[in-house]
């Protein structure tokens, strides 16, 4: 750590080369400058690292990956990570107001936050400046006792699938509640901070209290409620509570019979936002949710994604309607193409802005597909001619020695007679038989006799 003036300290972060609006550069410099609220920013970065170091489901002694992704988006910086169990996604947005007179270029890479850097961030005192340098090949922290050099490490494949799933799931969220700083502190401090299952608080539901006075518990789901699955998974927010200016909560529409669902918890900080998105259950990682499968099953989405990929320009907020107008595609095809781009880590979704954003990771969409067993299985069934259409929205799909019936409702939803559907009822995306019927249905005529059950 280098002194930045009387009583001050300067922290330099450097990362690997990456893509920019001008193309690939061997030694790009994405960002150089100070943060307006250094102590709050240091604690928020540690919160992102805390999530990366934690397995909330079946904790293990190892410390997981400590390699958050950093994106410079032209006017802001974003730091992202997943928990070791992939059930919590953390994102710190350092907004223009949080950057002290610095220019932000464009690019994405991953920065290492291991123990020496954690210690340097933890020691940052009040009034000490925090200077970030996002640049080529390594992360360097220069302390009073000498420089610390951190090399980047590969990102886990589960993170790629997690990035793809969270942007689809979060795009279905709406703002459900907004708390003041005092209400946020009281609510978060009332939650359990350790354990999973019962010790972690199980699955809870909350509703906005009358007259805007915080949150009140709900015994069961109800319209306007938000699911809080595993309250202990919000523990990473405690690091920055004293800097909080408010809390915003996002979730999907729910009914009285709704199952547990994902939700996003955004802590507002001076010039920054720290958001934790929770999977529907501590035992469920985002990498297996299956929200992307319907869009990946469409052949046209691959070509559409190539077209939209050319139009992406590192915008901090991507408007699908504008992309539709520029590309000539329908809104639905744009959404499917964005989902496919998300499987390569190229777009994320910001609930606060209700908009997508551009990032670049060293992945391709085919890599995510190869690691998705349901999608691979569905393509194998189609290639084997295992799908027979019976008319009236019904198809028979032979899988080994068994035949399952897939029905498509008038609204376009699909059901199946397989054990996967019986267990999850569509709550974790379609089964491989439904996917196979969807794929085959785009080209095959209705018609032949069903195979014997």
Q: Identify the pLDDT of residue 132.
A: 81
Q: Are 131 and 34 in contact (CB under 8 A)?
A: yes
With 0-12 CB in 10 A as exposed, 13-18 as middle and 19+ as buried, what is 450?
Answer: middle
Q: Identify the pLDDT of residue 339.
A: 84
Put residue 63 in one of left, alpha, beta given phi > 0 → left and psi -120 to 50 → alpha. Answer: alpha
- Helix, strand, coil shares of the chain, percent, nearest 5, are 30, 30, 40
pLDDT along the chain (453 residues), means of 10: 40 53 60 88 92 83 64 89 92 94 79 79 82 65 49 73 88 95 95 61 88 85 94 95 97 91 97 97 79 69 83 82 90 86 86 91 64 84 92 90 90 87 82 89 53 39
Provide the whole-model pTM: 0.83
Task: Report H helices in 19-141.
Answer: 38-52, 115-122
The strand ranges marked E within 354-425 are 355-358, 387-391, 394-399, 402-408, 414-416
Q: Are 381 and 399 in contact (CB under 8 A)?
A: yes
Task: Report H helices in 384-450.
Answer: 419-424, 432-441
Q: Are 388 and 396 in contact (CB under 8 A)?
A: yes
Q: Within a 10 A sphere around the Cβ of 189, how many other Cβ atoms?
A: 10
- Output the CA–CA distances (angstroms, integers) from residue 93 to 9, 24, 99, 266, 273, in the order listed: 22, 24, 11, 10, 5
Q: Name residues whose C-beta falls within 8 Å of residue 452's C-beta, 6 or more positions apart in sequence.
A: 403
| Residues paired with 251 in a beta bridge | 174
Q: Within a 10 A sphere around the Cβ of 371, how many other Cβ atoms?
A: 15
Distance CA 236, CA 278 (A): 12
The pair of three-digit structure tokens given for residue 423, joined into one six-digit string? 């267990």
Distance CA 322, CA 448 (A): 44
With 0-12 CB in 10 A as exposed, 13-18 as middle and 19+ as buried, what is 58?
Answer: exposed
CA dihedral 255, 258, 263, 267 (to 10 degrees): 50
């Amino acid at each position: 750590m280098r002194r930045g003036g009387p009583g001050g300290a300067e922290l330099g972060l450097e990362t690997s080369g990456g893509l920019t609006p001008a193309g690939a550069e061997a030694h790009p410099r994405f960002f150089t400058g100070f943060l307006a609220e250094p102590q709050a920013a240091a604690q928020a970065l540690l919160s992102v690292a805390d999530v990366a170091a934690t397995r909330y489901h079946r904790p293990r002694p190892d410390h997981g990956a400590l390699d958050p992704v950093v994106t410079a988006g032209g006017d802001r910086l974003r730091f992202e990570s997943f928990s070791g169990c992939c059930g919590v996604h953390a994102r710190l947005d350092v907004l223009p107001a949080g950057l002290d007179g610095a220019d932000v270029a464009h690019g994405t890479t991953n920065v290492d936050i291991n123990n020496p850097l954690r210690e340097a961030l933890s020691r940052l005192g009040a009034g000490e400046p925090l200077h970030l340098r996002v640049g080529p090949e390594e992360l360097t922290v220069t302390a009073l006792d000498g420089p610390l050099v951190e090399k980047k490490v590969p990102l886990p494949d589960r993170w790629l699938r997690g990035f793809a799933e969270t942007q689809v799931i979060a795009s279905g969220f709406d703002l459900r509640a907004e708390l003041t700083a005092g209400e946020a502190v009281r609510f978060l401090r009332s939650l359990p901070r350790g354990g999973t299952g019962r010790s972690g608080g199980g699955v809870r539901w909350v509703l906005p209290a009358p007259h805007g006075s915080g949150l009140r518990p709900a015994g069961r789901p109800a319209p306007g409620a938000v699911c809080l699955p595993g309250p202990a998974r919000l523990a990473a927010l405690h690091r920055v509570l004293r800097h909080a200016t408010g809390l915003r909560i996002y979730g999907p529409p729910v009914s009285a019979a709704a199952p547990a669902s994902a939700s996003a918890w955004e802590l507002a900080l001076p010039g920054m936002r720290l958001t934790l998105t929770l999977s529907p259950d501590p035992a469920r990682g985002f990498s297996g949710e299956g929200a992307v499968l319907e869009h990946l099953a469409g052949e046209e989405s691959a070509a559409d994604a190539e077209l939209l990929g050319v139009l992406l320009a590192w915008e901090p907020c991507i408007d699908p309607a504008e992309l539709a107008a520029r590309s000539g595609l329908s809104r639905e095809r744009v959404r499917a193409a964005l989902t496919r781009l998300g499987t390569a880590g190229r777009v994320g979704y910001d609930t606060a802005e209700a908009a997508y954003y551009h990032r670049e990771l060293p992945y391709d969409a085919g890599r995510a597909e190869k690691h998705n067993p349901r999608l691979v299985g569905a393509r194998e069934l189609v290639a084997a001619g295992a799908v027979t259409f019976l008319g009236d929205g019904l198809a028979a799909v032979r899988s080994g020695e068994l035949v399952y019936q897939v029905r498509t409702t008038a609204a376009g939803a699909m059901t199946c007679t397989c054990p996967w559907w019986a267990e999850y009822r569509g709550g974790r995306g379609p089964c491989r038989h439904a996917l196979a019927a969807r794929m085959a249905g785009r080209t095959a005529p209705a018609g032949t006799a069903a195979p014997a059950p």
